[in-house]
Structure 1
Amino acid sequence: MTRDSEDPNADEQYHLEVGPDDVADTVLLPGNPERLEKIVAFWDDHEIRGHHREYRTATGSYEGTPVSVTSTGIGSPSAAIAVEELARIGVDTFLRVGSCGAIQPDMAVGDLVITTGAVRQEGTSDEYVREDYPAAADGEVVSALVAAAERLGYDYHTGVTMSSDSFYAGQGRPGFEGFEAAGSDALVDELKAANVKNIEMEASAILTLANLYGLRAGAVCTVYANRETGEFRTEGESRAAETATLATHLLAKMDAVKREAGADRWHAGLSLE
């Protein structure tokens, strides 16, 4: 039985140090706290609302649409804390904004990857639900991210992401002094054969928790490295940030169209204009 002393309260959250009045309904989730400034640069205005540990939160607007951003740090455990505490104060839509390694040869450094679903090779979501539960991105979020990338003219790919708990062994890289985890030598080849597009460390936990709680979530990442071609450059970081920001605005328009049409879900038969 959970003790009350361990329950987060309904006001200011323990880790994020933000409350219901500090955030918009939609929150962008970068890992790196330093990426926050690069995201809010696309907004019309913003204000820092919280900064505790790896969690840094700002809220502002873009084209009249309220939007927030909270950095999560590296990995699914801290990302899950962010989703938990943001959901408790009223957030209903989450967009992971990050970087990744591509594993298909036709994916260039600087391209975007829009996640449709994720392989749950992280342990955090396993503590919430059985391992065969799917980590699926919300269809409206995927549609908004695709529409945003199209409008901005950015090259993008859609498909399945693999989320790992480890940057080294869990992604098929050698560890200290060349250590190799069992099966790591074949990992990337197996994922590539299964048409997995990219590897990162947070998406599957974010998607799983959002689905469990009846919330919307998706992910867009910039390719920094291609494991197939050997390229690595921190190029195009702002593309994911700009795409997610525009997608937030498009989601707000989708929601308005749904309300007007009396529809439960936005679909291709409904206009965004």
Structure 2
Amino acid sequence: MTIHIGAEKGEIAETVLLPGDPYRAKWAAETFLTDVKLVNQVRGMLGFTGFWKGNRVTIHGSGMGMPSLSIYVNELIRDYGAKTLIRIGSCGAMQTSVAVQDVILAMTASTLSTPSSGIFRELNYAPCADWSLLSAAAKTAAEKGVKTHVGGIYSSDVFYDERPDLNEQMVRHGILGVEMEAAELYILAARHKCRALAVLTVSDHLLTGEALASADRETGFGDMVDIALNAAFPS
């Protein structure tokens, strides 16, 4: 076990899905996996390991924001041997072509800063998804008829943003949506030679003000979980 994860060695699968909300992890594990076992509940951050179509999978909460995700992903990779990490979460749409409940596959993740910024110093590193996961996810979404968008997103380090000028530039440059974790996930995966992808469901729209109810945010995201699992284990 580690400081933040109470699982024993061998209780974490090589493939890990990462919702921010620990209760969304619980819902996804109980909905999609069989033979589910609770493997972590340190500080209320729930993690579960089970099977999907015979493949061993862990679904583990990552918390809110890049600093929190960085803690869990570092420990999952370095101490438990995770190799494929897929963020499943919500985002806010930033383009009129993107609607609430659509799915976004994040090809790249722009950001102002991450916990890894100090390593790069003056370099503007470009975090991107793993191509094998991205292409498999896009194929699955097309086969299932899920309205999906592939492109760049913005990983913000604040939730209550007070930079409307920056948002205007994100919209202007085609950024599909905003969330708070993917950029650091992609950086850590690159550093440790792992695979990473963010599959995001649009929960609200920055331009129209439309938003899902809180109950729908937890249970209405089945498409992205299905896409993530099929991307990790393509048939």
> Do the structures match in fold with TM over 0.5?
yes
Partner of 2:164: 185
Aligned ranges 1:167-246 → 2 under 5 Å: 167-169=159-161, 181=162, 184-234=163-213, 235=216, 236-246=220-230
Kept in 2: contact 1:112–1:220 (CA 8 A):
yes
Give 1:114's aligned amino acid: L
**Matching residue within 98, 103, 106 for 1:112:** 103
Query: How far apart are residue 14 of structure 1 and its match?
Result: 1.2
Give 1:245's aligned amino acid: L
Same amino acid, percent of matched pairs: 33
Unaligned runs of 5+ in 1: 1-11, 170-180, 251-271
Is 1:28 the counterpart of 2:7? The answer is: no
Stretch deviating more after TM superposition (41-50 or 193-202): 41-50
Q: Name the SS of the counterpart of 1:136 in structure 2.
A: coil
Q: Distance in 2 between matches of 1:93 and 1:127?
A: 25
Give 2:68's aligned amino acid: S
Partner of 1:165: 157
Partner of 1:147: 139
Is 1:74 the counterpart of 2:64? The answer is: yes
Q: Taking structure 1 as reference, are residues 229 and 42 closer, same or farther at Cα in structure 2, changes over 3 Å only?
A: same
Query: How far apart are residue 125 of structure 1 and its match?
Result: 2.4
Kept in 1: contact 2:18–2:86 (CA 8 A):
yes
Q: Normalized against structure 1, the TM-score is what? A: 0.79
Query: How far apart are residue 57 of structure 1 and its match?
Result: 1.1
Q: Normalized against structure 2, the TM-score is what? A: 0.91
Q: Distance in 1 between matches of 2:211 and 2:179?
A: 15
Stretch deviating more after TM superposition (121-130 or 46-55): 121-130
Partner of 2:83: 92
Q: Which has the larger radius of gyration?
A: 1
Is 1:16 the counterpart of 2:5? The answer is: yes
Q: Taking structure 1 as reference, are residues 134 and 120 closer, same or farther at Cα in structure 2, changes over 3 Å only?
A: same
Q: Name the SS of the counterpart of 2:233 in structure 1.
A: helix
Give 1:237's aligned amino acid: F
Query: How far apart are residue 127 of structure 1 and its match?
Result: 3.1
Aligned ranges 1:239-258 → 2 under 5 Å: 239-250=223-234
Kept in 1: contact 2:18–2:25 (CA 8 A):
no
Query: How far apart are residue 54 of structure 1 and its match?
Result: 4.6
Give 2:115's aligned amino acid: T
Count of aligned pairs: 227
**Matching residue within 23, 39, 43 for 1:49:** 39
Stretch deviating more after TM superposition (14-23 or 153-162): 14-23
Query: How far apart are residue 19 of structure 1 and its match?
Result: 3.5
Kept in 2: contact 1:95–1:218 (CA 8 A):
yes
Q: Taking structure 1 as reference, are residues 128 and 22 closer, same or farther at Cα in structure 2, changes over 3 Å only?
A: farther
Query: How far apart are residue 187 of structure 1 and its match?
Result: 1.7
Kept in 2: contact 1:99–1:222 (CA 8 A):
yes
